[in-house]
A and B are shown apart, each in its own frame.
Chain A
């Protein structure tokens, strides 16, 4: 498949470890944030989202933390598996505004070593 991992921040972890992927977002007015996973040769896939009235949200093996003070998001993956190897993107938007755009970060390449 096509490589989208060139020039990206990378994180390499051992299978079974926890992974933390960070994202700094740009717009202090953004109030809705989404994490996407993109495997090689595929389109992005929704993982988890969070609204600005929350600091933390948990899904299956994933947790998203939001720090609005410093405009920072993180995605935590518990017990990382080889199938988690992918590029991870955060995205931000203003859900109630008139600008109906989704702005993506540049992504982080996660490599899980067996």
Chain B
């Protein structure tokens, strides 16, 4: 089954404790991206990757890092989480940049930073 898988689905952590949210897709997609979703603000893009070893900032990259060492994986790293990073996070992938093809989203990761 074609899917985008995020882990964990729920995470509660403390301020400053490094964490990684994993994202994996099994569709051989080149383009992957991370979004955060907050009430009243919709989805905002954090980082995206056009292909392996090619990443770039989205609209809200501060406090986040990403890596793309393999085509299928695109982890989101929070080196020192803060309470303002409490949010619902989504990973998405598409064959190319989504301006041309359908994007598939993961189920989301609810992160709470206390």
Are B99 and A93 neighbours in the complex by a CB distance under 8 Å?
yes
Are A94 and B99 neighbours in the complex by a CB distance under 8 Å?
yes
The number of residues on chain A lying at the interface, defined by a beta carbon within 8 Å of a beta carbon of chain B, is 29
Q: Tell yes or no: A89 within 8 A of B by CB.
A: yes
Report the minimal beta-carbon distance from B44 to chain A, rounded to whole angstroms: 7
Q: Which of B12-20, B63-71, B75-83, B104-112 lies at the interface with chain A?
A: B104-112
CA distance A7 to B97 in the complex (A): 30
Closest residue on chain B to residue A87 by CB atoms = B42
Q: How many residue pairs, one in A and one in B, have C-beta atoms under 8 Å apart? A: 73
CA distance A80 to B105 in the complex (A): 24
Report the minimal beta-carbon distance from A39 to chain B, rounded to whole angstroms: 11
Closest residue on chain A to residue B40 by CB atoms = A7
Q: Tell yes or no: B45 within 8 A of A by CB.
A: yes
CB interface residues, A 1-34, toward B, < 8 Å? 2-4, 6-8, 31-32, 34
Listed residue (A7, A93, A95, A104) with the most chain B CB atoms within 10 angstroms of its CB? A104
Report the minimal beta-carbon distance from B46 to chain A, rounded to whole angstroms: 11
The number of residues on chain B lying at the interface, defined by a beta carbon within 8 Å of a beta carbon of chain A, is 32
Are B39 and A102 neighbours in the complex by a CB distance under 8 Å?
no
Closest residue on chain A to residue B99 by CB atoms = A95
Q: Which residues of A contact B56 (CB under 8 A)?
A: 100
Q: Tell yes or no: B52 within 8 A of A by CB.
A: no
Are B45 and A101 neighbours in the complex by a CB distance under 8 Å?
yes
Contact of A104 among B31, B44, B50, B99 (CB under 8 A): B44
Q: Which residues of A contact B99 (CB under 8 A)?
A: 31-32, 93-96, 100, 102
> Beyond A101-B45, A107-B42: 12 further Cβ-contacts under 8 Å?
A4-B88, A6-B39, A42-B108, A43-B90, A43-B106, A44-B92, A49-B102, A89-B43, A100-B99, A102-B45, A102-B103, A106-B41
A residues neighboring B (CB under 8 Å): 2-4, 6-8, 31-32, 34, 41-46, 49, 89, 93-96, 100-107
